[in-house]
Structure 1
């Protein structure tokens, strides 16, 4: 008699995986309008319009010159950020130019949804990588689930068109790499070339993918000489295909691919603007960050259970290496995949620490290493699970299963607490700190550096002030977040707002995300009438002007 009921459903990989990713996509549809507009979004949109204008002038110059919308767009060669990849945003601004619509917020919300759906694809890539490495679709699905249950990553998937898009594309590219190494065929080589080009055309850090491909291709040929001829041929196909696709998807490179690509690479990590970040209680120039800036941010914004499981997984990989020796260890396919994950995570992180690269806004420029982190987390979780299931007859090891069971229970409770915070702190998961008290966060770290909470601040003001015209203001350095989030409100609400300089807002409201003013404001600025807290830390203050 065939097995039926819930237990059969759980054992059905296709159904469970399909339901998981289907529900995740539905969740994105339900939530994508809850987030405001991030600090970088207008700049990303402008960069894409600059490239769109360049493409239009190349392909249909007469038609492009008759488009009034393109008249105010800078030329590509005069634009300061021309070397930024625009692959994700380019088709969206093209559609927006063709059908702008009456409300500018609608296209922003569509981009939010598209970014999240790409993140769903990236989570699927993590699932496939975990399934292949751990030999179980269930463990692969755990990996995808933990990626989703990462508060900052989840929230930024809706509006961070650089770092989370790159995370998703990089994970998919590593998946295509592992498939190519396992069975080198022309189709897999071309698919990996496409995935590589997509990642590079979003962030130049994608050049790590060809490095990983060549390095682990050579390692595979050493460990499995029988694959040497096939891999050599496929790598010879992959490299020029990837180069051609990179140029095709990045209009900035069209005129002089070699020179302009070199310029884009050299500008990475050397942000020219004089920008300071608030770190450990002091404002520090991004050109003079201490080596521990990125790892500290990673530690304090990643759920603590994941950090502990990562350590367990790392110890497990190290024990396997010490037990078998380097040579025998590298001969095993599973070990080479472990090494790939380690290189994926530690390579970029150590590179930023050693080279003192100019990064800012926490560790978001390194988000693309997080899937590797998650894969090691799942590996650590599986090791504890296997230890708990052991029933050793030896007195010496009799307490090991019980200890592992207690550890699993505590980790499960910790993960449940992460999920609870994500639900109760929605839509402010981007300001999540894992274990630091709110007061410590306020005194030492930046909070809402995206400025998204301004949208909810404006909604509160309009809900509690019935006047037909309401004056609102912000510090001049953050005023842009006020203007762009006002555009995310419905037109009737937007029409009531009057954005003015702070000294002209008498009787109105002053909003602060505390980016360059971490402390409280003096009484002369205004009286606090509303605050938004995440984990006990204030991320937005609304003050009523005298």
Structure 2
């Protein structure tokens, strides 16, 4: 039987890989849109724009996709440190008119293409393991280890940076092995091509290319195989790599030195990201030294994790044995190369403690090397066992694969929140779950399906982080669901016109920690409303990926109050208009109440003194009282603005801007803020405010805050209002290249 299987193993493997491919593509539409997807498409568009401009002239460069995604000039794209060369074949889809539901259609195609790249990595891992172990069955095992890893199966559909880098790194390893083994020019060129594409996606892949170059030289030296031809094979790899990388990286064309410097700086530390990571029950920036090893440990299936650790030991044992016997195999040096590759980056993360994103996705490119070691460990163990012990070990590995398959099926499409039992009885206490807001579209669909009697669900969010995902989720809803959902923007808190509020459990935990430790304030914006404590749960996504883990609600919709069920369209509109009027009256009444107990005023002189001490430039010209008076129809006595950073360029966004506005009366202040609430396009000339704002009562009724999100969703704008004649408007922009004191700290010095 086994002999017959071995004889036809190519057909068996091809059929198995085809089934894996079809199964993955079949469920592609089940996954939502991750946080970075539109940014990655934007980066691809910037690349395409450069190529078209090169061929057809700058005047013919496309500036946006058919779905409205803008393509900035590459030098103005802050994400130019990682390219999208692997998606060049996808680029024609950016300009296809998909008609109704265009955003969803583009997303599904993008995810399907991403899964094809993931499968390329699965195939590459098959050939790597089959070659190193000398048996196709170990190649199949390696492919299954990757394909059935819950998190990687899910992210293989939508993670267009980290998963793609991992797959391209596996292709680089495969062609690197072939170059060392066969020493053919075609293999050196393919090795260079895969290495260039991997490096274009993440610069860290160049280290893998370099390691194989070193191993090639060592192999020629140890085996005494130096020749002119073999030297030229290696040289061809280096020159081809440089040529390919330059051709597929338009960002390097105009200012190559600056591009390399920028890319290396960004890859070593993601300090431009202003975020916070939740880990072991609290918030961190940067992450603790053991963050990456721990995250690998708690998100990898247990037996696979044990095999990875064992693979380190067995590889060293094999190396010592070969050194003693002076008989060197092809596999052992590759295993050692994998160990060096893995631990170079792990030690960097442990020692340097750079700013990193959530989980270990920045290090997914190491996963291929980890799995190669795991398969090597299985071969080492199985080849040394006999009888029942051999079959017990095979059975254990098979049981782990079956368990992973069951987890993938049962938890679909939320495999990306998988944790093993090492995460503890309640993983929610220590770890993040849906940090990319991928599940929100599924939850909206679930809400509609489970409540067919409700005609329209009016939903808001409890924080800007969840709000960003909610907006994207709405755009990619199937049309038959979109008609039942109306999204109300977050602006300092859930919109009072909404009946429901969505809450991602991750930002909820971060806000709680930010308030507790009075630090960070990345997500917390003064909103103390906690839906999980104050509102009934209506719908949720729950995960329990281990029998030892407590179930976790990682994305939840709560009812803000009694919803109007089964309303007609006319009734719905009438109720909405009524609620808007009532909310407006409530805001005005509350402001009037606050004005009666407001405490004192800050003089213009005091404002100037404080801002100049903080090295702000105080300017009376930008945003004059006449312009505000005409725009809003209110009496404004004086406007003083203070800016820091980029202040010499009137078109540039400053790092921080404080505006001090003296109104003629409290009524003028109320009218101004009501106008701001009603029209998101209105703002103060010179400040460029384009966010919807509402007023929110603070703990001390002498202070009112209105906060909104701008652009990427970060809290870049805050308003502090003290009525009786004075309003202080504050805007802030993160620019981590300059050392700016936190805006909240300056506000406290201003007496607010």
Distance (whole Å) between structure 1 residues aligned to residue 209 and residue 378 of structure 2 = 31
Matches within 5 A, 1:84-99: 84-99=82-97
> Structure 1's 507 and 78: CA in aligned 2 closer, same or farther, altered over 3 A?
closer
Q: Give the corresponding residue for 2:540.
A: 531
**C-alpha offsets along residues 362-398 of structure 1, whole Å, 9 cap, x if unaligned?**
10111111111111111222233223326xxxxxxxx
How far is 1:523 from its partner?
6.0
Distance (whole Å) between structure 2 residues aligned to residue 39 and residue 66 of structure 1 = 24
How far is 1:190 from its partner?
1.3
Query: Does 2:425 match 1:435?
Result: no
Q: Give the corresponding residue for 1:275.
A: 275
Matches within 5 A, 1:8-407: 8-9=4-5, 11-61=7-57, 64=60, 73-102=71-100, 103-271=102-270, 272-285=272-285, 288-325=286-323, 328=326, 331-389=328-386, 402=389, 405-407=391-393
* Contact kept? 2:44, 2:87, Cα under 8 Å: yes
How far is 1:19 from its partner?
0.6
Aligned residue for 1:387, secondary structure, equals coil
> Structure 1's 165 and 71: CA in aligned 2 closer, same or farther, altered over 3 A?
closer
Match of 2:456 among 462, 466, 469: 469
> Structure 1's 326 and 166: CA in aligned 2 closer, same or farther, altered over 3 A?
farther
Query: Does 2:475 match 1:487?
Result: yes
> Structure 1's 160 and 68: CA in aligned 2 closer, same or farther, altered over 3 A?
closer
> Structure 1's 480 and 507: CA in aligned 2 closer, same or farther, altered over 3 A?
closer
How far is 1:310 from its partner?
2.0
Distance (whole Å) between structure 1 residues aligned to residue 373 and residue 268 of structure 2 = 27
**C-alpha offsets along residues 398-432 of structure 1, whole Å, 9 cap, x if unaligned?**
xxx64x55454444333322221111001111000
TM-score normalised per structure 1: 0.90
Structure showing greater radius of gyration is: 2
How far is 1:71 from its partner?
10
What are structure 1's unaligned runs of at least 5 residues?
391-400
**C-alpha offsets along residues 424-455 of structure 1, whole Å, 9 cap, x if unaligned?**
00111100001146752100111111111111
Further displaced range: 499-508 or 160-169: 499-508
* Contact kept? 1:149, 1:419, Cα under 8 Å: yes
How far is 1:483 from its partner?
1.3
How far is 1:129 from its partner?
0.6
Distance (whole Å) between structure 1 residues aligned to residue 376 and residue 208 of structure 2 = 23
What are structure 2's unaligned runs of at least 5 residues?
513-528, 545-550, 562-752
Distance (whole Å) between structure 2 residues aligned to residue 66 and residue 120 of structure 1 = 31
> Structure 1's 488 and 507: CA in aligned 2 closer, same or farther, altered over 3 A?
closer
Query: Does 2:505 match 1:514?
Result: yes
Distance (whole Å) between structure 1 residues aligned to residue 188 and residue 397 of structure 2 = 40
Distance (whole Å) between structure 2 residues aligned to residue 478 and residue 47 of structure 1 = 24
**C-alpha offsets along residues 311-357 of structure 1, whole Å, 9 cap, x if unaligned?**
3322222222334447836x433322222222233232223223323
The size of the alignment, in residue pairs, is 528
How far is 1:144 from its partner?
0.7
CA RMSD of aligned residues (A): 2.5
Q: Give the corresponding residue for 1:394.
A: none
How far is 1:72 from its partner?
5.1
> Structure 1's 165 and 459: CA in aligned 2 closer, same or farther, altered over 3 A?
same
Considering fraction of residues, name the structure with more helix.
1
How far is 1:361 from its partner?
1.4
TM-score normalised per structure 2: 0.66
Aligned residue for 1:274, secondary structure, equals coil
How far is 1:78 from its partner?
2.1
* Contact kept? 1:85, 1:204, Cα under 8 Å: no
Distance (whole Å) between structure 2 residues aligned to residue 72 and residue 120 of structure 1 = 30
> Structure 1's 530 and 71: CA in aligned 2 closer, same or farther, altered over 3 A?
closer
Further displaced range: 315-324 or 482-491: 315-324
* Contact kept? 1:49, 1:90, Cα under 8 Å: no
How far is 1:68 from its partner?
7.3
* Contact kept? 2:342, 2:369, Cα under 8 Å: yes
Higher relative contact order (CA 8 A, sep 6+): 1
* Contact kept? 1:28, 1:117, Cα under 8 Å: no
Distance (whole Å) between structure 1 residues aligned to residue 470 and residue 365 of structure 2 = 29
Distance (whole Å) between structure 2 residues aligned to residue 482 and residue 231 of structure 1 = 56
